Structure 1
Amino acid sequence: MLLEQSLIIAAMQRHSSTFWWLAECWVSVFNKLIRRYKYLEKGFEDEVKKLLLFLKGFSESERNKLAMLTGILLANGTLNASILNSLYNENLVKEGVSAAFAVKLFKSWINEKDINAVAASLRKVNMDNRLMELFPANKQSLEHFTKYFTDAGLKELSEYVRNQQSIGARKELQKELQEQMSRGDPFKDIILYVKEEMKKNNISEQTVIGIIWSSVMSTVEWNKKEELVAEQAIKHLKQYSPLLAAFTTQGQSELTLLLKIQEYCYDNIHFMKAFQKIVVLFYKAEVLSEEPILKWYKDAHLAKGKSVFLEQMKKFVEWLKNAEEESESETEEGD
């Protein structure tokens, strides 16, 4: 594989002002060679992996050029993102070579494609959650990663990693929640755990109430008979009302829960007739309040099954409106 290695080294010798154009030319050469001689594809990737392992042997200027070229090769599919495994070499990471190289590489890659294409390539090789490992263990924090790459002009990469971290944290939260519920842990312990995770991972209450709802509904095997599932649901949800109430302290969180209930009842046909009963239960248990329910009914509901659910809620909403008017009248009389 000396030919490919020689071509890469030769490309790195060009002056930086013309390197981008030259890099595109070299990429075209590589592509033509590999298309013509398919057996070169695997060998070429192996040689690039070896080159990346010995980045310390190149000058900073040469590393930058190699990073730019590698980014272009990744963008057009000549190289597989698995080559980035070489950047996790302990010595390269420790001396900051990996992170600096990654900056130039991702700039080049994103310049050719976009962050969505880059993310898709990383996911294919299970590397979308490993970018933090470009830094030593004592610097593997979201704050450090975000600052480093944002300062380097890669805000979109920083935001992508932040989103990945958030998704991972939410998945872990749901998994732990389900385990705690299965064990029958006290609600006060569960609430404390969730609030700590919210603070640590900057997860909003609206997001959390959706996670709790999903977890609560997944802890039981539901009856397949429509006439029995409503009773089963009310009994089950009544038990978990204190937990849900702890995370509906904001109107938007209540509305989020209403939408989750609507979506669940629509997606699970046996629950279609249970929607109103669940909402009334949560109203009585002070999980939901008047204003979000009225807002949901007026214009914040989903399209899914809306005619069925609005009809179910009609009498209860009328009762809420009348109760609200009576309350206002009593207040005015008191004044």
Structure 2
Amino acid sequence: MEPLRTLQKEHLTKDGLALRFFTDLLHVYLQENTLAQLSKALAKAKLDSQLIEFFPPNKRDDDCFERHFAAEDMPQLLEVHRATRDVATRDGFVADVVDVLHQAKIADEDDDEEGVKAINLRLAKAAKAAMRSHQWGEHLAVVLAWDGIIGAVDWALRAEQIETQAINQVKRYSPVLEVLTTEPKSEIALLKHIQRYVYDDPKLTKSFGRIVFELYNADVLSDSAIIFWASKAALPEGKAIFLKQTETLVKKLEALEGDDDDEEDEDDDDE
């Protein structure tokens, strides 16, 4: 599908010729191929995010796109477009977080207590605004915020410095994550996402236990969420390693939970 890029030239798109040819081609392609195959082919040709470029310049918006392919009875294209648009929107939010933190570092705001508070407030407001605009749930917003916060770190070359950098970043911007974890679902989503994130990034694998501990201390993660993750929700990726790293914390939290249960039983007996 890569040769189709030539159709995106202005003299072919302005009168709808490119769109007509592209639409007819897709009709033929989907007679013998699945949506998954189409998505893969478009992604391979790097056209999945550029479908709108086949439209005339004055019709390059989501409304025109959806009306055209709905009229052509091609819901498959609508699915591809929406999925690609959603990914681009999420990536854009993460990039914005990274940019804010990079700019703050350049201005030395991230070394100043009041500056850090202001940045946390700014990012929290941006996350809430994105949730309203894109109808994101907390469980999605918090993992995107995590990606931006950790993605903004300029990692040291020495391995012994990396964990310190990660923990400092988590401590500094945990207020943003706290705002986005008011529901158990969001806490578990964040825990699972961090597990996958550090599993995929070898330089952070050894830091998982400390990251969870710091997020617990910052009231981002509750004791019940950590216990539930350890007993039922941990992902297969690196599970044994990460359970070992959090073993001491989990046992401590389970003991505290047990003490609370005993106190409640004593209160019930007194009544």
* TM-score scaled by length of structure 2: 0.78
Q: CA deviation at 1:134?
A: 4.8
User: Is 2:119 the counterpart of 1:190?
Assistant: no
Deviations 1:170-218 (A, max 9, x none): 2211211111111226222222223323333344433332222222223
Instruction: State the structure with bigger RCO (CA 8 A, min sep 6), 1 or 2.
Output: 2
C-alpha distance in 2 between matches for 1:317 and 1:256: 18
Letter of the 1:210 counterpart:
V
C-alpha distance in 1 between matches for 2:59 and 2:128: 25
Match of 1:230? Answer: 163
Task: Structure 1: state its 5+ residue gaps.
Answer: 1-73
C-alpha distance in 2 between matches for 1:168 and 1:128: 11
Match of 2:3? Answer: 80
Letter of the 1:277 counterpart:
R
Q: Secondary structure at the match of 1:257?
A: helix
Q: Secondary structure at the match of 2:73?
A: coil
Match of 1:258? Answer: 191
- The equivalent position to 2:48 in structure 1, one of 98, 120, 128, is 128
Deviations 1:17-45 (A, max 9, x none): xxxxxxxxxxxxxxxxxxxxxxxxxxxxx
Instruction: Answer whether contact 2:8 2:53 (CA < 8 A) is retained.
Output: no
150-159 or 233-242, which deviates more: 150-159
User: Is 2:38 the counterpart of 1:115?
Assistant: no
Match of 1:153? Answer: 73
Q: CA deviation at 1:242?
A: 0.3
Q: Secondary structure at the match of 1:186?
A: helix
User: Is 2:229 the counterpart of 1:309?
Assistant: no
Letter of the 1:262 counterpart:
Q
User: Is 2:204 the counterpart of 1:284?
Assistant: no
Q: CA deviation at 1:139?
A: 5.2
Task: Structure 2: state its 5+ residue gaps.
Answer: 105-117
Instruction: Answer whether contact 2:98 2:152 (CA < 8 A) is retained.
Output: yes
Q: CA deviation at 1:137?
A: 6.0
Q: Secondary structure at the match of 1:80?
A: helix
Match of 1:216? Answer: 149
Instruction: Answer whether contact 2:209 2:246 (CA < 8 A) is retained.
Output: yes
Instruction: Answer whether contact 2:15 2:56 (CA < 8 A) is retained.
Output: no
Match of 2:96? Answer: 176
Q: CA deviation at 1:270?
A: 4.6
Q: CA deviation at 1:153?
A: 2.1
User: Is 2:238 the counterpart of 1:318?
Assistant: no
Taking a change above 3 Å as real, the CA distance of residues 168 and 208 of structure 1, as seen in their structure-2 partners, is same
C-alpha distance in 2 between matches for 1:258 and 1:273: 15
Match of 1:58? Answer: none
| Greater Cα radius of gyration, structure 1 or 2 | 1
Q: In angstroms, what is the RMSD of aligned CA positions?
A: 3.1
Letter of the 2:28 counterpart:
S
Taking a change above 3 Å as real, the CA distance of residues 183 and 108 of structure 1, as seen in their structure-2 partners, is same
C-alpha distance in 1 between matches for 2:86 and 2:31: 25
Count how many residue pairs are aligned between Structure 1 and Structure 2.
255
Deviations 1:226-255 (A, max 9, x none): 555434432221111001112223323222
Instruction: Answer whether contact 1:88 1:134 (CA < 8 A) is retained.
Output: no
Instruction: Answer whether contact 1:247 1:253 (CA < 8 A) is retained.
Output: yes
Q: CA deviation at 1:126?
A: 4.0
